[in-house]
Amino acid sequence: MKFSICTLLVPLCYMLSDPVTGSVKEGLARPFILESIEEAKRLVNDAYLYSRQESLARVRLDEFIKPTDKLRLMKQPSRRTREVVRAADYLEQTLRIITEKTHHAHKRAINATALITPEELATIVRLTGCAAQVRPPSCRTTPLINKYRTATGVCNNLKNPTFGASNTPLVRWLPAIYEDGISQPNGWNPGKLYNGVLLPLVRLVSNRILRTKDADVKGDSENTHLVTFFGQWNDHDLSFTPMSPSIRSYSNGIECDKSCQQSEPCFPIQIPSGDPRLPAGPESCLPVFRSAPACGSGNGAFVFGGVPMQREQINSLTSFLDVGQVYGSEEVQARDLRDLSNDLGHLLVNSQFQDNGRELLPFSKVVSNMCATRQRILNNTGLQEVPCFVAGDARVDENSALTSLHTLFLREHNRLARVLRLLNPKWSSETLYQEARKILGAYHQIIVFRDYLPHIVGTEAMKKELGHYTGYDPNVVPTIANVFATAAFRFAHLTIQPLVFRLDENFQNHPTFPSVPLFEAFFAPWRVIFEGGIDPLIRGLIGRPAKLNMQDHMLVDALRERLFAFTSHIAMDLASLNMQRSRDHGLQGYAAWRKFCGLSVPQNEADLGHVLNNTDLAHRLLVLYGTPANIDVWLGGVAEPFVPGGRVGPLFSCLIATQFKKIRQGDRLWWENQGVFTRRQRVSLRSVSLARIICENTGIKRVPADPFRFTSTTADFIDCNDILPMDLTPWMEPGEHNSYGDETASQENDLQENQV
């Protein structure tokens, strides 16, 4: 799966190049081609500038930002991702403009291939910037390529350097289904029939199938709330699909959040009649912006007669379990998150506040009131507000529980760097940083596979797909699949409690900082600063159960009716967003994915009732969808009963296990692969414990041995002093004075190595 110009745009294989520079000569393009490129650039640049100005106007310090703005700003491309998206928009709009001009000149629809030469097309692709975005990088000059990961993930696979790299397209395990065959989302055309019936409005499905009252929520008897938020934290290591930076249509100028009209990139969620919260009608909708396209996909290839390329979406993160949510997925971003004021190899920490003497995440330098929620929630205009936190992933402030995990692992990196410096006083700041990053990455891989995934995919999938490590396979594509990012790994939305729990030292509701409604924990870094730090939040994650996903009680109101808002009228709906995003990405329906996984494919209500073990739910689904084939894959997946030992059904167990198997097999720098760590280091890494990481980096004194396993009593919790720390002496360079461990520890480690 190499991403080159020839694979994305077939005619470019025949382009005429400059013999010296290798680039296409601009003189080969006729004036109207170059004029169209410049017109497209002005159009896109003006739209981006307008959107930025509007955003700044809306986030002035004397205004409160709307939930639609929060969703859009949180999903905005930044840094190099913005360059990638901008180039794709330049290309897309250039082709649209040229097509319109040729149609107008000939008074009829005409295939532009007859008028545009391959050389001119190559000029278009180069001048819009798309050629640079799809050109594979050289790995020859990358330093220490076999020792440390690049921030972007490039050159992990030496033959295919973009496998798993950030800012590359998500992969397809099944072909996309678009209404025009190229890029129009499912449900774009109101009269379009699917298997003889119309697709239901996603908000109608959300209302009738997923609605849950907080009073009906049941706790999970086996899993803690940490399972839910660690899953979210893990997801933010693997995928981030940016939205279009423009808030208005390129073709007609309508503003996506001021109109319910569908026009690229506006794909609003229409409100059905009888909605419990929102008025129905042609001017009633929840604004949604389409995910940004990848260069050379969609009409970017089709218009000029190349092989029709369906629209693909971008993953701005690496596909590897590399803790990118801590370190960032771009080189400049990774550098900006480091403390370069000294030689300690640390990540930046907050310079204004501490958490009982412990480190906090640094503040964002972007001026915005995105996280200025304290005065409004507490109804006190005299309270101090603080900026958003910043981390390797832009969603760090999405909720306070997620923020606490970001903080925990930031502290662990700096702790590791301090210990490594004691072991190796001569190590440079760069070596300390890279070695601590490498160890933390291994921690994450071990905890995900050994401790987290068994709670999710069940015993059979763990045994068949995710058991023994078989080694690195350069032919395996680790790149995140569209169906995984857009549907399967969003299962945990149904395990979120309506409260963010905060507990005291006795694991009781905190008397000073009690548990808060989830919707009051959105974009609230001030709760960490001013309300007890992360200790009460971490205790809440390990001391309270996750919500149990039940077929008649799926998604709590905080996510369905109050997402990113304080007033329910203007809030977003996460269930509707998930289904609308699946349609935006052209994902095939539930039945097709069941077939992909080798599972039975329900054909009718009786079959579906058997698969779901629920005839009533099957009936209600088919009243909406008409046939199992039409059911949105996310909804079908979360509606299935659990596999033994897991918390997803057979479909999502298959898709999640398949993805993680590819991530592990396709990672040249996986912690178990020969040469990544020494044998002694691997032995030591196997002893890593999430419980110990919590003990090392908080004031919590007692923890469950398995923080993912829920117990209704703290009697089985263990004292932090009884959990052995991981031995880091295998990282000590020969000849260095060991100021951290002792000779006994080294002897014990040698004994362990001999037993392996």
Q: What is the pLDDT of residue 245?
A: 83
Choose, from 236, 346, 510, 553, the residue flagged as catalytic: 236
Measured distance CA(437)–CA(701) in Å, rounded: 26
Q: Would residue 55 count as lying in a domain?
A: yes
* Per-residue CA distances from 4 to 123, 170, 305, 479 (Å): 15, 15, 18, 16
- Decide if 119 is inside a domain: yes
What values do phi and psi take at 557, rounded to 5? Answer: -60, -30
Residue 9 lies in a domain: yes
Determine the pLDDT at residue 730.
Answer: 98
CA angle 433, 170, 24 (to 5 degrees): 95
Domain assignment present for 14: yes
Residue ranges making up the domain that contains 26: 5-135+166-181+292-315
Whether 253 is covered by a domain: the verdict is no
- Residue 307 domain-assigned? yes
The SS3 assignment for 128 reads helix
Q: Which residues in 498-540 belong to E strands, given as ranges?
A: 499-500, 516-517
pTM exceeds 0.85, yes or no: yes
Is residue 236 part of the annotated active site? The answer reads yes
Amino acid at 732: M
Is 87 domain-assigned? yes
Total tally of structural domains belonging to the chain: 1
Q: Which of 178, 149, 662, 51 is nearest to 433 (CA)?
A: 149
- Phi, psi at 338, each rounded to 5°: -95, 150
Question: What is the dihedral sign for C-alpha 317, 321, 326, 331?
Answer: negative
Give domain status of residue 297, yes or no.
yes
Q: What parts of the chain have a pLDDT lower than 70?
A: 1-29, 52-77, 103-115, 298-308, 564-570, 736-756
Q: For position 45, what pLDDT does the model report?
A: 87
